[in-house]
């Protein structure tokens, strides 16, 4: 039996009369990569931001590493890493300075170059955030989530808008972070990504969880129900062609 590091019970969020999250319950296990999938407006970001202590809930209970969100939000803040919206970075500071700024906020000492190394940005240490490519920006914002050595990190659509190489590079980074024991919650619109990266996924639709299991189990369940693809699938797809022709190496350096 795996240990739940996050437990969400009957979570409800109303914006005025509109119920964006309709009494969802799920556990995230320690050390897993957990995916929240669902169409735009399903309630994924709302759910994440409530767990992150950044948004109030209407009803329900949330426990993070044993801390009750209602009683100990500050204890929760200390053990989580949250990716900021990328517009939130001071434009005049370089990456090293930004890391020191964040470290100061967390009251931590960090080796900025070591941290930048982890996300493959050591050679950009003196560059400003706005000088980075899309993939580099995402990697840097993931680096900032690691400053307080969190037990859990939250990544809300970290690969949206990235080219295929940058996306694969980010998967490596997420796997690397998890391999050190960090639990990862991630949202994505890319099903190939969820299938490759996530140990378990919850599919959210209109504020309700309509499926929750390993990707493998969900696919088997669909196949067992008699589902068949309309035509035989080719052994490669256009993305395979793209990667084959342009190579796996990062292009945004
Ligand atoms: P997702 O991240 O799955 O795309 P969100 O959690 O951002 O979904 O939004 C869920 C629903 O709640 C959407 O219909 C959205 O318009 C609504 N919503 C989100 N934030 C607010 C807010 N601050 N005020 C009113 N409605 C909101
Ligand atoms: Mg969202």
Q: Which protein residues have their CB within 5 A of the ion that is ligand 2?
A: 44-45
Strand ranges in the chain using DSSP code E only, listed in sequence order: 4-15, 18-29, 33-37, 59-64, 67-68, 80-82, 152-156, 183-187, 200-205, 208-213
Calculate the CA 240 to chain-centre distance: 24
Mean model confidence pLDDT for the chain = 92
pLDDT of residue 252: 63
Q: Which atom of ligand 1 is nearest to the CA of 46?
A: 6
Q: Are 221 and 227 in contact (CB under 8 A)?
A: no
Residue 112 near residue 104, CB atoms below 8 Å: no
Averaged pLDDT for residues 181-195: 96
Q: What is the pLDDT of residues 60-81, one digit of tens each?
A: 999 999 999 999 999 999 999 9
Identify the residues whose C-beta falls under 6 Å from ligand 1. 15, 20, 38, 40-46
Domain range annotation of the chain: 4-246
| Secondary structure E strands in 42-129 | 59-64, 67-68, 80-82
Q: Tell me: the pLDDT tens digits for 9-27? A: 999 999 999 999 999 999 9
Return all residues near 215 (Cβ < 8 A) that are at least 6 apart. 194, 195, 198, 200, 201
Report the residue among 38, 42, 46, 51 best suited for mutation to probe ligand 1: largest number of ligand atoms under 8 A from its CB. Answer: 46
Among 11, 13, 15, name the best residue to mutate to test ligand 1's pocket (greatest count of ligand atoms within 8 A of Cβ).
15
Q: What percent of the chain has pLDDT over 90?
A: 76
- Cβ-Cβ contacts under 8 Å for 88 (sequence gap 6 or more): none
Alpha-carbon gap, residue 231 to 227, rounded angstroms: 12
166: phi then psi, degrees, rounded to nearest 5: -65, -35
* Other Cβ atoms closer than 10 A to 195: 15
CA atoms within 13 A on the CB side of 5: 19
Could you report the per-residue pLDDT of 119-175, keeping only the tens digit for each? 999 999 999 999 999 899 999 999 999 999 999 999 999 999 888 998 999 999 999
Q: Are 34 and 198 in contact (CB under 8 A)?
A: yes
Mean pLDDT computed over 111-120: 93
Averaged pLDDT, 195-205:
97
Pocket probe for ligand 1: among 8, 11, 20, 38, the residue whose CB has the most ligand atoms within 8 Å is 20
Burial annotation 131-143 (CB, 10 A radius, 16+ → b, else e):
ebbebbbbbbbbb
Nearest CA to ligand 1 atom 12: 20
Look up the CATH number of domain 4-246.
3.40.50.300
C-alpha closest to that of 101 among 119, 117, 84: 84
Q: Give residue 150 CA to ligand 1 midpoint distance, Å.
A: 26
pLDDT at site 86:
60
Give the whole-angstrom CA distance, residue 20 versus residue 46. 8
Determine how β-strand 200-205 pairs with β-strand 33-37: parallel
Q: What is the pLDDT of residue 101?
A: 92
What pLDDT score does 248 carry? 75
């Amino acid at each position: 039996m795996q240990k739940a590091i996050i437990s969400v019970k009957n979570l409800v969020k109303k914006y005025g009369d509109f119920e964006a999250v309709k009494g969802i319950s799920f556990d995230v296990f320690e050390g897993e990569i957990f995916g929240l999938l669902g169409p735009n407006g399903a309630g994924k970001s709302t759910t994440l931001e409530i767990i992150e202590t950044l948004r109030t809930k209407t009803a329900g209970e949330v426990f993070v590493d044993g801390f009750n969100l209602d009683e100990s939000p500050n204890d929760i803040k200390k053990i989580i890493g949250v990716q900021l919206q990328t517009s939130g970075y001071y434009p005049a500071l370089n990456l090293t300075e930004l890391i020191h700024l964040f470290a100061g906020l967390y009251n931590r000492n960090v080796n900025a170059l070591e941290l930048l190394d982890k996300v493959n940005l050591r050679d950009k240490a003196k560059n400003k955030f706005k000088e980075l490519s899309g993939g580099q920006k995402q990697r840097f914002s993931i680096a900032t989530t690691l400053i307080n050595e969190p037990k859990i990190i939250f990544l809300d659509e970290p690969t949206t808008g990235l080219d295929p190489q940058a996306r694969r590079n980010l998967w490596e980074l997420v796997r690397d972070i998890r391999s050190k024991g960090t639990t990862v919650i991630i949202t994505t619109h890319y099903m190939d990504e969820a299938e490759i990266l996530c140990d378990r996924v919850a599919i959210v639709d209109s504020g309700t969880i309509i499926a929750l299991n390993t990707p493998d189990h969900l696919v088997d369940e669909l196949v067992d129900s008699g589902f068949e693809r309309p035509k035989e699938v080719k052994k490669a797809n256009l993305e395979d062609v793209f990667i084959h022709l342009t190579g796996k190496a990062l292009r945004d350096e």
